[in-house]
Homo-oligomer: A and B are copies of this chain.
Amino acid sequence: MASSHGKQNGTSITDVAALADVSIATVSRVLSGRRTKDDDIARRVRKAAHELNYSVNSAASALRSDVSNTIALSMPATSTLMAASVVTAVSEAASTAHMQLLLGIDGTAAAQHRRIKTFCGHPTDGIIVLPCPRAGVSLTWGIATDTPIIQLLGSTNLLRHDWVSIDNGASVELAVTHVVERGAASVAYLSDEVASSDGAETLLAFQSSLNLLHVRTDNEWITIADGTVQRGFSDTMRMFAGRGADQIPEAVICSSSDTAIGVLIALGQLSINVPGQVQVVSLQDNEAAASSTPALTSMRAPLQQMAAESLRLIANAQANGSDTEMGARLGRHVMFPRLVIARQSTRESNDD
């Protein structure tokens, strides 16, 4: 019978206590680190635990202590690399904090809503939510729980929850500054989808950065289309073929790294040197960007930091108790600019 449905490793704290010849309380204290002394008793306990291949039953632990050392992550089913990086970053942050990670991926806002509700039924210290593209503020409505909920990324504010996101404006300003510091006096921008508020925000910030830094651009140098390699290739051919040095931009910023790779190939065909004559920057980083020729200078969201910040906010919410007043408190909003990963498609800095 024991073997028919026995999960776990049959051994329990009682077995360890018996083998080490101490009480279960002592075992509990030693293994949870609440007994700091490293004397004979502690060693005996650890030895017994090791010999029996014992590990605490987290279900019992969570039930008893109301602390599960588990966080949950709810996110949409995007096939982009960004999503994969988020999972990795959150997983690493959880590991660092000695926490387990519960993951739920859902395609629709309704499914995500149900998911979050389910997470609340589990012994979870906090929930990180990456809202579906079209999810509105109602995503977490009607969910009454003491479990802290943190919004990570997403373009619409869930309100009432703390929110960790990317500063798109500051990011593109950093990109422009990067190429200007390296000698560019004119810049082109190949954007994909301005439909989303993120895209529009980025385009706006691009233009205001140019004003601020007194950099030249041209209506023909700002194009909006899909983010493919071929689009970068054809836009570049149109923009650069058969033009003099004063008729072409000295830098190209692309919102997609595929587009930027198309730009590189086209410039190669036109025998225009990168980064000597034209610098290229991608606002998105991935494996292809790192392995292109020349390797693409790209921007990357500091996801490790953002994941760690999310966990910090969760821990904070736990410590402060549920709410100060009546839950009317609005969430904090922490924004991180993207980092510049300098590679070979932009010049050496003058400051070096």
On A, residues with C-beta under 8 Å from B are: 3-10, 53, 55-60, 62-63, 66-68, 77, 79-81, 83-85, 87-88, 91-92, 95, 100-106, 117-118, 120-125, 143-147, 226, 228-230, 233, 258, 261-262, 264-265, 268-269, 286-288, 291-293, 318, 321-322
27 intermolecular pairs with C-beta atoms under 8 Å apart: A5-B66, A6-B66, A6-B146, A6-B322, A7-B66, A7-B124, A8-B66, A9-B146, A56-B121, A57-B123, A58-B59, A59-B59, A84-B84, A87-B87, A87-B103, A92-B105, A95-B104, A95-B106, A100-B104, A101-B104, A102-B103, A228-B288, A228-B291, A228-B292, A229-B288, A230-B265, A230-B293
Q: Which B residues are in CB contact (< 8 Å) with A287?
A: 79-80
Task: Verify A7–B68 contact, CB threshold 8 A.
Answer: yes
Complex Cα gap A145–B80 (Å):
36
12 further A-B contacts with Cβ under 8 Å, apart from A7-B68, A7-B124, A58-B121, are A6-B146, A8-B123, A8-B145, A9-B120, A56-B121, A58-B59, A59-B59, A79-B88, A81-B81, A87-B103, A92-B105, A229-B265
Task: Verify B233–A265 contact, CB threshold 8 A.
Answer: yes
Distance in Å from the Cβ of A74 to the closest Cβ of chain B?
10
Task: Verify B100–A102 contact, CB threshold 8 A.
Answer: yes
Complex Cα gap A248–B273 (Å):
32
Q: How many copies does the complex hold?
A: 2
Q: Which B residues are in CB contact (< 8 Å) with A291?
A: 226, 228
Q: Which B residues are in CB contact (< 8 Å) with A88?
A: 77, 79, 105
Complex Cα gap A83–B79 (Å):
10
Task: Verify B62–A59 contact, CB threshold 8 A.
Answer: yes
Complex Cα gap A156–B95 (Å):
26
Contact with A87, one of B53, B105, B261 (Cβ below 8 angstroms): B105
Task: Verify B121–A7 contact, CB threshold 8 A.
Answer: no
Contact with A59, one of B8, B118, B123 (Cβ below 8 angstroms): B123
Distance in Å from the Cβ of A247 to the closest Cβ of chain B?
23
Distance in Å from the Cβ of A267 to the closest Cβ of chain B?
12
Task: Verify A147–B8 contact, CB threshold 8 A.
Answer: yes
Q: Which B residues are in CB contact (< 8 Å) with A8?
A: 66, 120-121, 123, 145-147
Task: Verify B68–A146 contact, CB threshold 8 A.
Answer: no
- For A320, the closest partner residue in chain B by CB is B4
Q: Which B residues are in CB contact (< 8 Å) with A60?
A: 59, 63
Distance in Å from the Cβ of A140 to the closest Cβ of chain B?
13
Q: Which B residues are in CB contact (< 8 Å) with A262?
A: 265
Distance in Å from the Cβ of A32 to the closest Cβ of chain B?
13
Distance in Å from the Cβ of A221 to the closest Cβ of chain B?
22
The 3 closest A-B pairs by CB, nearest first: A55-B121, A84-B84, A91-B105
Task: Verify A79–B81 contact, CB threshold 8 A.
Answer: yes
Distance in Å from the Cβ of A16 to the closest Cβ of chain B?
13
Distance in Å from the Cβ of A215 to the closest Cβ of chain B?
29
Q: Which B residues are in CB contact (< 8 Å) with A293?
A: 228, 230
